[in-house]
Amino acid sequence: MLFVASRLLRLERLDAGLLGIQAYLRLLLILTHLRHNTRNSKSVSSSSQVNTYAYIMASTPQQRRPNTFHSFLHLPRELRDDIYRSIFSTPPPPPLSPNTSSISPSLGLSILRVNKQIHHEASEILYATVVFPIRISRNDARAINGNTLYYVSQETPWEQLCYRYSGKDGNLLSLNTTDTLGSPKQEYTHPNDAVPSIAYGGRFRKFRIEVADQRTLQTGINTESGSASTKLLFLAVDRLSTLLAPATRQIPLTLEIHAVSRILDQVEEESRRISSRSTILEPLAGFYREKAYKEIIDTIWPLTKGPWRYTIHAPGLLKKEFPGLLEQRLELHNQLEGGETREEGVWREPTTVWDLWVGWGRELSYAGGGEHEIDSMDEEDLDS
């Protein structure tokens, strides 16, 4: 019975809409009861177990009590919490890579609409256990018409943004596609029924931040982006602070920061390619690894200045090869923070524009509509 229930639950695991919320809860009751019973739990009396099992195994509606949810709420809170955890459980994230980001888990939120008590209980489990990924990428700088163009992109379960600086103006671009963008009054968010509304972002206790240095060995390692990239990264921190750590937040927020570098991957790939033929370039590879590690720390540092707790998970091999460098580099940034952080004006309130795909080209339009004109331009004009 336990095997059959488990198989059925996996088939319809997070889709209560297809199975039906009553049947879904009923199946969860069977599975949880059997698991609970096999552990010989003392929290449920024998009579309670028999009554619960008789109810959930009833074959017809006439044999069941009329109020499924009333009976569900008669279960011990421990069992109900087990069911909520099963509904909101998510697979572990894939290995971190510069080329791919984790996909936000699709959650079965139907149970939150059953009644107020179940909503309250299930919400407590949801906010305490689910960890959504957030991707922040530091991209290659490019020289355009004598100016250097810097990019930092940010992807959350609710929005995709790009912070751009071209030497004189800062822009905040929405990367949402036209079919999910809707009205500019949405403020560069898009609906996603698989996750709670963006208004509830401040209730989750933990987020997984995936920091990817996307710059390449050919250009990024020699680009001294300095203040510009740091300020762009602070814009990402400002946005996360607004979404995830509002003044109304009551429970501390924790960010689990993971980092990966495309430059580091390139160095390792080149080292493996030449290692069988020569060891002459190994000192040079070590220099690039240390340089890449410093660049990773530089990208992470702004995230340590937000209103949250944090843990940093740097690549293990780098921590072993360069012990103490992480702490030393972060402390150096803190000491030099005065002239390198957030200035007023364009950095605090960058011009917000939509980045829309239209036909074969793209259009930029300022968020909020108004009297701003829509500029239609091709790829070359957009980059300039």
Q: What is the pLDDT of residue 180?
A: 34
183-207 confidence digits (pLDDT tens):
333 334 445 567 788 888 889 999 9
End-to-end CA distance of the chain: 65
Task: Give residue 174's pLDDT.
Answer: 45
CA 174 to centroid of chain Cα atoms: 17
CA 142 to chain centre: 27
At residue 154 the predicted structure's pLDDT band, cuts being 50, 70 and 90, is confident
Looking at residue 236, what is its pLDDT? 85
The model's pLDDT over 102-120, given as tens digits with 9 standing for 90+, comes to: 777 777 788 888 889 999 9
Distances from the Cα of 121 to the Cα of 78, 128, 261, angstroms: 11, 11, 40
What would the pLDDT profile of 306-365 be if each residue is shown by its tens digit?
999 999 998 888 888 899 999 999 998 888 765 444 544 444 444 444 333 333 333 444
Tokens, residue 100: 């791919």
Of 49-58, 281-290, 311-320, 357-366, highest mean pLDDT: 311-320
- Residues of the chain with pLDDT > 70: what percent? 53
Domain locations along the chain: 2-117, 131-347
pTM above 0.75, yes or no: no
CA dihedral 83, 256, 285, 100 (to 10 degrees): 50
b vs e for 266-288, b when ≥16 Cβ sit within 10 Å of the residue's Cβ? bbbeebeeeeeeeeeeeeebeeb
pLDDT in tens, 202-247: 899 999 999 988 877 655 444 445 567 777 888 888 889 988 998 8
Q: Is 254 left (phi over 0), alpha (psi -120 to 50) or beta?
A: beta
280 versus 18: the higher-pLDDT residue is 280
**Residue 304 binned pLDDT confidence (cut-offs 50, 70, 90):** very high
Cβ atoms of 356 and 362 within 8 Å: the answer is: yes
